[in-house]
């Protein structure tokens, strides 16, 4: 995946290293922390947490592999008009708010161009001049924006922010991309599971409704005589006359028969 970067002419850093806010060179994310992050995402796929709680967990997992000063936001949908937004801290919340208000920024660029974005200094980046003052006011200088892909394509963006300049490097971008990819697979699995649960629920409701209708038909035949088709036609007419679903009419008949309060409306056989 390509990256857009801000080059300021500083000396190149060693591969896999990052510049800390004070200018010192610090190591890339530890393998153990990355392993723990993937374990956490695997657990997330097996959990029954609501969607917002899953997004919050994802944001904290990503934050766990970044420098301690980093703040992370996850937005579902287009960044300028997201369906849901969660953050791990005030800095990410402010950064997302500023970008939504401006209608552009690193997250919008990642979404529009389909590529990860790495920014060393938002205050000096020529791509988003209107963000410079707001970013400085909110204490947001460094940023990463990475797409989250699910089965239907891009579904959201992970935004990572820090107060210092050049806090993140390409290694951090690759790490966030890996986690975002795993998160996308998790979201796909959860959506498929939710769809499967919905289908099973619909089938169960249909079977239950069919069983109740069959019981109601038996009650109608016992009281009015006729065939099973006659009883079904009678229930359908009553349902239509009362403007209620057939299943509800059947449940009423069965319940009234059980409690000894059955009164069937008059009507012809057949």
- Could you read off the pLDDT of 213-233 as tens digits, one per residue? 888 888 888 888 888 888 888
**In the prediction, which pLDDT does 210 show?**
81
Q: CA-to-CA distance for 60 and 165, rounded, in angstroms?
A: 22
CA–CA distance, 247 with 100 (Å, rounded to integer)? 47
Range of the domain at 214: 196-259
115 and 226 co-located in one domain: no
Mapping DSSP to helix (H, G, I), strand (E, B) and coil, where does residue 62 land? helix
Do 201 and 179 lie in one domain? The reply is no
The region of weakest confidence among 22-31, 40-49, 201-210 is 22-31
Count how many domains the chain has: 2
pLDDT of residue 197: 56
**Residue 72 binned pLDDT confidence (cut-offs 50, 70, 90):** very high
Is 228 contained in some domain?
Answer: yes
* CA angle (26 as vertex; 15, 62 as ends), nearest 5: 90
DSSP 137-150: HHT--EEEEEEEEE
Residues 6+ apart with CB under 8 A from 48: none
**How far, in Å, CA of 267 to CA of 270, rounded?**
9
Q: What percent of the chain has pLDDT over 90?
A: 24
Res. 8 pLDDT band, cuts 50 70 90? very low
Indicate if the pLDDT at residue 177 is higher than 50. Answer: yes
- Residue 266 in domain: no
pTM recorded for the entire structure: 0.61
% of the chain exceeding 70 in pLDDT: 77
DSSP-derived 3-state class of residue 116: strand
Place of tokens 């000396």: 11
DSSP string, 6-48: ----PPPPPTTEEE-TTS-EEEPPPHHHHHHHHHHHHHHHH--
Last residue within a domain, chosen from 142, 161, 194? 194
Domain of residue 188, CATH code: 3.30.450.40
In a domain, 267, yes or no: no
Residue 66 has phi, psi (to 5 degrees) of: -105, 170
β-bridge mates for residue 143, sequence order: 119, 161
Q: Verify that 124 and 40 share a domain, yes or no.
A: yes
């Amino acid at each position: 995946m390509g990256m857009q970067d801000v080059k300021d002419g500083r000396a190149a850093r060693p591969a896999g290293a990052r510049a800390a806010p004070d200018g010192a060179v610090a190591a890339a994310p530890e393998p153990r922390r990355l392993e723990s992050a993937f374990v956490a995402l695997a657990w997330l796929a097996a959990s029954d947490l609501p969607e917002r709680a899953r997004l919050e967990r994802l944001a904290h997992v990503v934050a766990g592999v970044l420098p301690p000063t980093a703040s992370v936001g996850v937005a579902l949908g287009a960044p300028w008009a997201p369906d849901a937004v969660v953050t791990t801290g005030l800095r990410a919340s402010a950064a997302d708010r500023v970008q939504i208000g401006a209608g552009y920024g690193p997250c919008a660029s990642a979404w529009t161009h389909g590529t990860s974005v790495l920014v060393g200094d938002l205050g000096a980046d020529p791509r988003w001049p209107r963000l410079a003052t707001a970013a400085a006011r909110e204490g947001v200088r460094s940023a990463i924006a990475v797409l989250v892909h699910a089965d239907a394509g891009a579904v959201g963006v992970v935004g990572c922010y820090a107060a210092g300049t050049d806090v993140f490097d390409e290694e951090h971008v690759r790490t966030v991309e890996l986690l975002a990819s795993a998160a996308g697979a998790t979201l796909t699995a959860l959506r498929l599971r939710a769809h499967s649960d919905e289908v099973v629920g619909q089938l169960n409701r249909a079977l239950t409704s069919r069983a109740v209708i069959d019981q109601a038909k038996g009650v109608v035949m016992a009281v009015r005589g006729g065939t099973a088709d006659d009883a079904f036609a009678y229930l359908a007419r009553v349902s239509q006359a009362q403007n209620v679903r057939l299943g509800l009419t059947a449940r009423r008949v069965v319940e009234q028969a059980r409690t000894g309060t059955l009164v069937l409306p008059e009507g012809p056989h057949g």
